[in-house]
Amino acid sequence: MFTVKPLPSVETTEEALVIGLFEGGKPFAGLAGEYDTRLGGQLSGLWKEGDISAKRGRIAVVHPFLPSGAKRLYFVGLGKKEELTFARLREAFGKLFGALKQAKRTEASIVLDAFTAGDVDENEAAHALAEAYYLATYEFSGYKQNKRERDYEMKSLTVYTAADAADIEANLFVGSVYGKATNSARTLVNTPGNLLTASDLADYAATLANRFDFDYEILEKEDMERLGMGALLAVNQGSKQPPKLIVLKYQGKEKWEGVIALVGKGVTFDTGGYCLKPRDSMLDMKTDMAGAAAVLGAMEAIGELRPEQNVLAVIPATDNMISGEAFKPDDVITSLSGKTIEVRNTDAEGRLILADAVTYAKQCGANCIIDVATLTGGVIVALGTDKTGAMTNNEALFEQLLEASAETGEFIWRLPITEHDRERVRSSKIADLNNSPGREGHAIMGGAFIGEFAEDTPWVHLDIAGTATAKKDGDLGPAGATGVMVRTLTAFVERFE
């Protein structure tokens, strides 16, 4: 879809030519200035009248009606040059693609150097452009009887640049991978629980493994019983659907060492178990596997980009249902690690399945672990819906992940785990651990519990309960699943030291 070409002349015929504008200085330079001259200063006139603006987020469309040249000029406001960042540029491109989609434009050309300033060069602009296209135009088709096929897709997007074409093409590819992998995760999260069981999730993972030549194994219920995965098995007790422990291995180094483990919570639907959720809280619990989706999306991107890293993905998958066999409050279960757990809340199930998954990741040689989970409503109370909560036992690992999140624009905020928090998790009088010590510091309690199984292995916990979905359409995608943390995990893996 993307074609890279040298900067054009004003005579080049285009369906839609896109140019970025910054506040301050001359509004029209380069190719835009040539158009202004050919139009007798009409663009400058529209600028003075405010019809064309460089304010961030503004899109203006002009029809030159010239015998040659572009049929439409799209001007994208970028704000002040000194305030341009990768994330802001990606949002601007997202808004552009929203406008092109609304106008049903399937061909466009972009003058890339008009979208650069400061630390954002043409290579970064190319990445932002490709990523924004896939994010902004994402659609979930749904299941209506007369559902439409995808109603918009750009057929041709020409990128004009004076930079090295091979470098631009490489960055367009990376941006495309980031966007497509995020969309894959979005689709998984948007899929209803009856159509995406643990078995379906395992089948999807196996398809990824075959596509990218990953080593993989799917642990069945009998395997878990043999190994002693009592925490994962307990959560699954009430279900007719068998549990799965999904394991993918990407080996980018000669030896299996320096292994990064990505662990994703895969609760395909959460009723809360016998600690039953109220009706309104149970709606959208199909999204409780967004951590698993983030890990699978990251593995898709890793499979495409082939970094020189060793990556292990571990996904415990089950639903949390009610039946005569379901686990109950006051039950005591024995985890894979051997640690016993008093169940005080069956709706604190995510940390239970992650406990066994983290232990298994360590047994598979993980040197560091990042777990991703829609773990607690408490993180939404603490941080809202635009910030992912994070906890860690290792400063250096967390700083590397923080840098990756800043690069991708997926904001994370660290919450503390103190010795007092650990004492609360260990407060059971009859078992090693208590899975729900109380509502106070709820998000921290969830993270501290998982940390008991990470032990001394460098570890970061990401609670995406607030960021996994969006209630409103945005410039970079519709309401619904966001695919959050796919890009951050990918960027982290690519740059891990």
The C-alpha atoms of residue 410 and residue 467 are separated, in whole angstroms, by: 9
- Please tell me the distance from the alpha carbon of residue 187 to that of residue 480, in angstroms, as a whole number: 9
Regarding whether 468 and 329 lie in a shared domain, the answer is: yes
Say if residue 417's pLDDT is above 90: yes
In 81-167, where do the E strands start and end?
107-111, 156-160
* Mean local confidence (pLDDT), 357-384: 98
Asked if residue 167 has pLDDT above 90, the reply is yes
Return the structure tokens found at 185.
């995760």
Rg (CA), the chain: 25
Neighbouring residues of 321: CB distance < 8 A, sequence distance ≥ 6: 238, 239, 240, 269, 271, 273
Tokens of 381: 């109370």
Q: Which of 35-39, 128-132, 262-266 has the lowest mean pLDDT?
A: 35-39
* 176 assigned to some structural domain: no
- pTM attached to this predicted model: 0.96
Residue finishing a domain among 161, 192, 212: 161
Statement to judge: residues 97 and 217 lie in one domain: no
Same domain for 229 and 326: yes
| Phi (first) and psi of residue 78, to 5 degrees | -115, 0
Note the pLDDT of residue 149: 63
Average pLDDT (292-308) is: 98
Is residue 175 helix, strand or coil? Answer: helix
pLDDT tens for residues 10-51?
Answer: 777 678 999 999 998 788 888 889 899 999 999 999 999 999
- Bridge-based pairing of strands 480-481 and 469-470 is antiparallel
Residue 344 domain flag: yes
Examine the domain organization and report whether 138 and 251 are in the same domain: no
* Marked catalytic residue, from 277, 414, 422, 426: 277
Based on the domain organization, do 157 and 202 belong to the same domain?
Answer: no
The answer to whether 341 and 427 have CB atoms below 8 angstroms apart is no
Do 192 and 109 share a structural domain? no
pLDDT digits (tens, 9 = 90+) for 473-495: 999 999 999 999 999 999 999 99
- pLDDT tens, 72-125? 999 999 999 999 999 999 999 999 999 999 999 999 999 999 999 988 999 999
| Residue 351 designated active-site | yes
Q: For residues 197 and 132, state if they share a domain.
A: no
Residue 198 domain-assigned? yes
Task: Take residue 345 and report the two structure tokens written for it.
Answer: 């809340």
H or E segment at 464? none
User: How deeply is 453 buried, as exposed, middle or buried, from its count of CB atoms within 10 A (0-12, 13-18, 19+)?
Assistant: buried
Q: Is the domain of 138 the same as that of 187?
A: no
Do 344 and 206 share a structural domain? Answer: yes
Asked whether residue 147 is domain-assigned, the answer is no
Give catalytic status of residue 180 as yes or no.
Answer: no
pLDDT at 147: 67
Which of 48-52, 184-188, 247-251 shows the lowest per-residue confidence on average (mean pLDDT)?
48-52
Domains held by the chain: number: 2
Domain enclosing residue 77, as ranges: 2-142+153-161
Q: Which residue among the candidates 58, 265, 344, 351 is catalytic per the annotation? A: 351
Distance between CA 127 and CA 90 in Å, rounded?
9
Q: Is residue 169 in a domain? A: no
| 327: alpha, beta or left? (left if phi > 0; alpha if psi -120 to 50) | beta
User: Are 214 and 125 in a shared domain?
Assistant: no
Find the angle CA(308)-CA(313)-CA(314) to the nearest 5 degrees.
Answer: 160
CATH number reported for the structural domain that contains residue 433 in this entry: 3.40.630.10
- At residue 334, the pLDDT reads 98
Assess if residue 137 is contained within a domain: yes
How far is it, in rounded angstroms, from Cα 102 to Cα 30? 28
- Do 31 and 72 lie in one domain? The reply is yes
Tell me which of 142-146, 265-269, 301-305, 455-459 is least confident. 142-146
3-state helix, strand, coil in the chain (%, to 5): 40, 20, 40
Residue 175 lies in a domain: no
Identify the domain boundary among 161, 193, 208. 161
Residue 125 domain-assigned (yes or no): yes
Question: What percentage of the chain carries pLDDT values higher than 70?
Answer: 99
Among candidate residues 110, 129, 161, the one where a domain is terminated: 161
324 with 421, same domain: the answer is yes
- pLDDT tens for each residue of 49-75: 999 999 999 999 999 888 878 899 999
pLDDT at 180 over 90: yes
Distance of CA 337 to the CA centre of its chain: 30
Give me the count of residues in the chain: 497
| CATH (domain of 109) | 3.40.220.10
* Residue 190 CA: distances (Å) to CA of 111, 144, 196, 268, 479: 35, 14, 10, 11, 10
- Written as one string, the DSSP assignment of 266-279 is EEEEE--TTSPPPH
| Contacts of 446 by beta carbon, 8 Å cutoff, 6+ apart | 348, 350, 351, 375, 376, 378, 461, 463
CB 265 within 8 A of CB 354: yes
DSSP H helical ranges for 194-343: 198-212, 221-227, 230-236, 279-282, 290-305
